[in-house]
Chains A and B, each alone.
Chain A
Amino acid sequence: MNEKIFRKMQKSRSISGKFNEFDVWLFIAVFFISSFVFFISAGSYILFFQEQQHLFVYLPDFLSKFFVKPGGPLELAGEFFTQFYFSTLTGSIILSLILSLPAVVLHFVNRRLKTGNLYSIVLLLIPSLALFLMQSHYYHTMTYNLGYLLVLLYFLFASSSESRKVQVATLIIYPLFYYITGAYAFIFAGLYIIYTLFYSKGIRKLYYTLLIAALTGVLLIVSESKIFLIPLKQLLTYPLPSVNNTTHRYLTVFLNGFVILYPAVSYVPGSWKTMKPALKILRYAIPAFIYILAGIMLITRYNPDVARVINLEKLVFDEKWSEAVTYYEKYPSRNLIGQYFYNVSLTETDQLCERMFFSHQDFGVKSLFLPWDDEHLNWGSHVFYAIGLINEAHRWAYEELVVYGYRPHNLKMLVKTNIINGNSRMAKKYIGILKKTLFYKRWAEDYEKFTVDTTSIKTDPVLGKKIEIMPHDNFFIFLDSPEENLPLLVESNPGNRRAFEYLMAWLLLSKDVETAVMNIPKMKELGYTKLPRHIEEAVMIYYNSKRVMPDMKGLAVSYATTERFSRYVATYSALRQRAALTKDKMESEFGNTYWFYFHFY
């Protein structure tokens, strides 16, 4: 490095040098605390979501799969840490720590690069801030954070000394680094080249640049042709971030570029030759501004709807059905999955036809059964589990396992469905896998008793109920039109009220009032002593159209419903002339009725 420039930098450091160390740690601490507060509160849904996407199993077969490709060990490390998201507190601490470490590492790097001015504090915070913003997307995994951290740590080693030993060691370890981190090694290679160009002397610049470039090429060729059975495209990109989100992609590109060019960016000398006391405030103001900017970006990226749906998902996976209903009615969403979970939760609490219109039903019948595709594979089993079509619930959960690997909720569903179906041996197998985890061992042990004493299944309040509503006869499941399974379920087991209500919900959402009403006589056989609210409302629509009450086999519409219907009709008639006002006005008073859905959806 140019001696003159070096002395300038030294000088500028000495001006604010006394404060730099404190400032750095102060800002890192502020970052850590802010990150922690976010992930333990508003961002906790991210931890839950990611923890549910992976299950870390302490079994040789599971662990060995990570060692057959470059980057596999990094992914293993990422999944290892992700398991601790099971606890929001622990997960927030670990995640915030990992996100803060790049700043810490760069702080030590900066000492080597001799960037001692105020400007460098901002620079060292940028990767952590960028990662934090990227992490605010729920598909951004711990693996990505660790990848960048390892790149910086390796660079810290590489830049620790200009001695030949260190540089040679860097090149020797590089293949190992590539095996551990996969495509992140290419980011390191770029970073190292820039560092060499700016900080190495003489012919060494060329040497090391060419060597690492050549080494990278050789590693790729040898990996693809000889060592690993991985396509070249995957070798070039795995496990770099690949989130399907525009902002995330931009941030990834920015971060990659920033990290690679960091030595060049740091090389720009500081220009704080003299600092007037009034300007010293800038040493806090500039980083603070960066933080505020990041905060604004976070707020704009934050999607409360997504957060609510994932929080609802947590309640569903925990089988806290009543809480799920209450939560959704308090925080309704316009999201298909949210409305699907609402319907499933109502079914599990036997109040589907009583309350389903108490919140949004924007998707009609689509929110009753999810379409069969990779995107919805995660959740589709729950409806079948709710209505007693256990074989189909098992199939969805199993297919999810095949496509996505072990996940806590799919293994739990496989345990439950196999227990209910009487397949103790398979249930034990899945229980055996869950017992090899840190946080699901207890759940597995609780369910293990059902595989030992199978008579206890029927007496269990949850599992026993499922056995009661299972189909007695056999039929082939309709896959492309799942609603056709509902009448078959009811026919096969007349005691299955949940399937019956799901069928009625289908008819109501399809606005097939006539068929819905024609099914009311079956309700007497199913043991109903009163009509659910929305069925009453459907009867009133039928009556209003046909001017005759349907045969309800002794069941009757309550006075409250008839009275409410009279008010609905009167209000609707009065408002009909002012179409713009009608929907809002009707919604405010009658938004929780089938009539509102029938007229306005």
Chain B
Amino acid sequence: MPLWMLVGKNKCQLFDYYFNFTAQIPFRHNDKESMTGIINIKYKVIQPVFLVILLLLAGCEAMTNENFQKINSLPVIEPDYINVTIPPNIAPLNFIVRENGRRFFVVAESEKGDYKIKIRSGNGKICFPMKKWRKLTRNSMGGRITVRIFLSGEQDKITKEYQPFSFYVAPEPVDSYLAYRLIYPGYYCWSNLRIVQRCVENFSEKSIIENQVLDMNCINCHSFCNNRPDRFMVHVRGSKGGTYVVSDGKIERKDLKIDPMPGSATYPSWHPSGKYIAFSSNQVRQTFYANPSKSIEVFDLVSDLIIYNMEKNSITMVRDDDTTKYLETFPCWSDDGRYLYFCRAPQNVEEPWRDPEKMELIKYSLVRVPFNPETGVYGKTEMVYDAAAEGKSVSFPRVSPDGNFIVFTLAAHGTFPIWHREADLYILNLQTGELKKMDINSEETESWHEWSSNGRWLVFSSKRLDGRSSRPFYVYFDSRGNTGKPFVLPQKDPERYITMLESFNLPQPVNGKIKVDPRDFVVSSKSQSVRAIAENLADSLPEWKKERAEMKRNPGERPIHE
């Protein structure tokens, strides 16, 4: 291929210069050896170096050529990172260009124009170098990064430029780690389960706990106190069963199942003081739909709320004078720990597992009960949002760290919204009482959300990518309650989500590296679990709950894991 084709006609001048330059090298025609040496240098060193420089310039020249066909539409990229708002400390947003083209050029430039990254790709995969990315995002805090994508066609002659898009870089960082459970979004069976921590500033992912060293027990419900890496808990179900509480570098294995409880301690919520953990105690069942419009319904036969006192190792059941039978679940503390929010539904539907129409009658509302952290006494339950009256059902409330908002999942009915395609995230302003649907939702399930420690980011699970596997999404949340466009947790290989079947279950932002590892849990599993004591011993499980709590499971059914 003639060099002029590689470098473009403009660069031929450089080529000529090269020859002129070398021609101008003085040679001592009386000193053959010197002449030979000079010539050798020219051919062996200068020429290849110069050719490399020319080729690089050729590439750049193609990108700076203004004779592009400008397309007035945004490119299709996967994952969709177009116009998302990102934290300054996020890992590179690697993506794949899903357009027809031979080669792709991407230029990502800071708003001030003082820094840019250029990437060339032959297969559409755009992977930003880590150091350059960090520099770019740091330079763009509070502003934006403009991304331009260029395509070259079959002949390597025509280039196109798509409409540029942006990464908006928020000034506030996100918690540096994300903990989640990797699990097949399945039904009854499980195999290898692990809860991992992923550093969101790079791509490193490390196990916190793995079930293959715990007799293949089920591990679930990881929960962090105030997003702290040194204070969290996880449930283990099976031969090594218990609630493993990590605190101050130690892991304590606790048995939180006491007789009056209908089931094991399930959905946890740490009191901001770290002194209490609220749980629901559920007998959970699954049932399966015949029609393809739905797949699974997860429901509670019976559920109650308990508060576990870490200092006293005691459990109090949250009781009400109300004689109505209720299903109570998904506790969540307010930011100041003076209220316990939870979801409540009247338990007035007979055998809902027999009939989908009956199941649709189960609707949870959002309520709260006042709580005195000093005395551990709680008050009367108050209605916060009567979703049932509107024909909806609330799950998984999460209060923002500043106490101004509460985000929950709203579905058509039932609990466990991850299997409800219509489940969306709603936000309630606790100051004004305004409720609105968040504009971050999709046609698929959104749920399992959690606030970052600074209250500026919300992480949530969404099945929008393939309709079945949940992926962790981040969305920016400013002080006025406005959100940016959410983005999926970036991966080193942007194709990872395409082939990966596991779900990222219950993503929890953590503001530092978790120092315990699976072996620490193995050591702890060998110790005897510390059984909690019941504080209000006089309470026993009412008959009407006992019958339901003792209902047999279906063949092969084991405790719920997603």
Interface residues of A (CB under 8 A from B): 59-61, 225, 229-231, 371-373, 377, 389-392, 395, 398-399, 401-403, 405, 420-423, 425-426, 429, 432-433, 436, 470-477, 479-480, 485, 488-489, 492
Contact = CB atoms under 8 A, between A and B. Distances in A.
A489 B291 CA distance: 10
Given A399-B186, A399-B188, A402-B186, A474 B499 contact: no
A381 to B, nearest CB: 13
B354 interface: yes
B178 to A, nearest CB: 19
B23 interface: no
A229 B206 CA distance: 12
Interface in B470-499: 493, 496, 498-499
Interface string B534-562: 00000000000000000000111100000
Interface string B174-206: 000000000010111111000000000000000
B257 to A, nearest CB: 26
Given A229-B519, A476-B353, A480-B554, A399 B189 contact: yes
Contacts of A432: 498-499
Contacts of A225: 519
A583 B184 CA distance: 52
B285 to A, nearest CB: 11
Contacts of A492: 290-291
B501 A476 contact: no
B41 interface: no
A274 B189 CA distance: 67
Interface in B491-523: 493, 496, 498-501, 518-519
Contacts of B468: 423, 425-426
A401 to B, nearest CB: 7
Contacts of B207: 229
Contacts of B191: 402-403, 405
B220 to A, nearest CB: 15
B250 interface: no
Given A391-B288, A391-B290, A474-B294, 20 more contacts: A59-B499, A230-B212, A389-B290, A390-B292, A391-B292, A395-B288, A399-B189, A403-B189, A405-B191, A425-B468, A426-B466, A426-B467, A473-B290, A475-B289, A475-B291, A477-B289, A477-B290, A479-B288, A480-B554, A485-B290
Contacts of A403: 189, 191
A377 B556 CA distance: 11
Contact of B556 (A373, A421, A426, A477): A373
A472 B293 CA distance: 10
A381 B292 CA distance: 16
Contacts of A230: 212-213
A429 B468 CA distance: 11
B499 A61 contact: yes
B467 A480 contact: no
Contacts, number: 117
Contacts of A423: 292, 467-468
B255 interface: no
A-B pairs with lowest CB-CB distance, top 3 = A421-B292, A474-B291, A479-B554
B288 A392 contact: yes
Interface in B85-127: none
A341 to B, nearest CB: 22
B287 interface: yes
Contacts of B290: 389, 391-392, 471, 473-477, 485, 488-489, 492
Contacts of A61: 496, 499-500
A477 B191 CA distance: 24
A479 B466 contact: no
B48 interface: no
A476 B213 contact: no
A324 B224 CA distance: 56
B308 to A, nearest CB: 29
B355 interface: yes
B252 interface: no
B291 A472 contact: yes
Contact of A422 (B184, B186, B292, B519): B292
A429 B498 contact: yes
B187 A395 contact: yes
B538 to A, nearest CB: 38
